[in-house]
Homo-oligomer: A and B are copies of this chain.
Amino acid sequence: MIIKLKNSTTPEQKQQLISWAEGLGVSVCTVVGAVDTLLGFIGDTSHIDEEQLEAMDFVAAVQRIQAPYKKANRNFHPQDTVISVGGAAIGGRPPVVIAGPCSVESEEQICEVALAVKKAGANILRGGAFKPRTSPYAFQGLRQDGIKLLLEAKQVSGLPIVTEIMDISQLDLFNDVDIIQVGARNMQNFELLKELGKIRKPILLKRGLANTLEELLMSAEYIMSGGNEQVILCERGIRTFERSTRNTLDLSAIPVLKSLSHLPVIVDPSHATGKAHLVPPMSLAAIAAGADGLIIEVHNNPGRALCDGQQSLTPQAFAELKQSIDKVAAALC
């Protein structure tokens, strides 16, 4: 961390700042130049609050050089984290495929889709019970009943399940859920993240619509600093000015996150693009970019889906895509 002092800084102010920093366990080097005086804070600066420094009268600028996250940081944990769920190893090879409908709608629907995606080679079943919807007048999910139906589909198909939590108060319902998803809109619901840090179950953490990759890692750090180190990062598109896709899928997030962190990184091409015909090319691109997995919407009747049908694949289209995924993954070995 580099601190640039204003020219008006007194020797007392400078000494006071140095003592304060040393009290926080970092060592301080001073560079006195012709124009500027710089202090270098060396050591573990993750507990130093940048904004507090910037607020000091005599500080002109602060620049952080080390990443502000530790548990999620590959520097302190060089090996890839691999999270085992059912038979699948998320973070290992080959990449894991999660598939299923946007919303759980009925027993028939979820079980039919579960069996179809299993047959096509999916490793994990997805399905929304609690649905975050922009409009209060839109379908909000089957909620508690949706979780029950998912658990039936788990039993029928043998696939582990992942589904989204929207509030701490719902946590008890997730006892038999294999992976708990935190949606993009809750990526910085810090109270929820803290609570999820107390349990011992994998968390699939989606990147927020306008969040940087550093912020995504800081949200992972919230969970991990509570003791739950099983976090799966998920890129699902960010908001830009482009209007031909629902969001802009940022696939460079994959190699960037893999270099900064040891956590697994998966991609959701369905929510990112919002259009079924874009899901296959973006799925293959994600695999080619090194993703540890995909989460894809599949519905047995997309035209009648209660939400997001426009972006769902039919089971047959998914089966074909799965074969292409396997080919691309094999080509990269």
* A interface residues with partner B (beta carbon < 8 Å): 2, 4, 27, 29, 31-36, 38, 40, 42-43, 46-47, 49, 51-52, 54-57, 61, 63, 65, 68-69, 130, 132-140, 166-169, 185-186, 188-192, 194, 208-210, 212-215, 218, 221-222, 225-226, 238-245, 248-252, 254-256, 259-260, 272-273, 277-278, 281-282, 284-290, 302-310, 312, 324, 327-328, 330-332
Contacts and interface: CB of A to CB of B under 8 A. Distances in A.
A79 to B, nearest CB: 19
Contact of A218 (B31, B42, B135, B303): B135
Nearest to A287: B288
Contacts of A55: 302-305, 308-310, 312
Contacts of A304: 55
Contacts of A194: 136
A259 to B, nearest CB: 7
B242 A250 contact: yes
B213 A51 contact: no
Contacts of A167: 167-168, 189, 191-192
A244 B284 CA distance: 23
B190 A222 contact: no
A157 to B, nearest CB: 24
A208 B132 CA distance: 15
A109 to B, nearest CB: 14
Contact of A135 (B56, B68, B130, B272): B68
A133 to B, nearest CB: 7
Contacts of A308: 51, 55
Given A286-B285, A332-B284, A332-B327, A278 B256 contact: yes
A324 B332 contact: yes
Contacts of A4: 65
A263 to B, nearest CB: 15
A249 B256 CA distance: 13
A330 B328 CA distance: 9
Most chain B CB neighbours (cut-off 10 Å) among A29, A134, A225, A273? A134
Given A239-B241, A240-B238, A285-B285, A307 B52 contact: yes
B51 A310 contact: yes
B38 A33 contact: no
A226 B302 CA distance: 31
A245 B252 contact: yes
Given A49-B307, A256-B245, A281 B290 contact: yes
Contacts of A27: 33-34
A239 to B, nearest CB: 5
A40 to B, nearest CB: 5
A304 B260 CA distance: 26
13 contacts: A2-B2, A2-B63, A29-B33, A35-B42, A49-B307, A51-B309, A52-B307, A55-B310, A134-B218, A214-B243, A241-B241, A252-B273, A288-B288
Contacts of A240: 238, 240-241, 248, 250
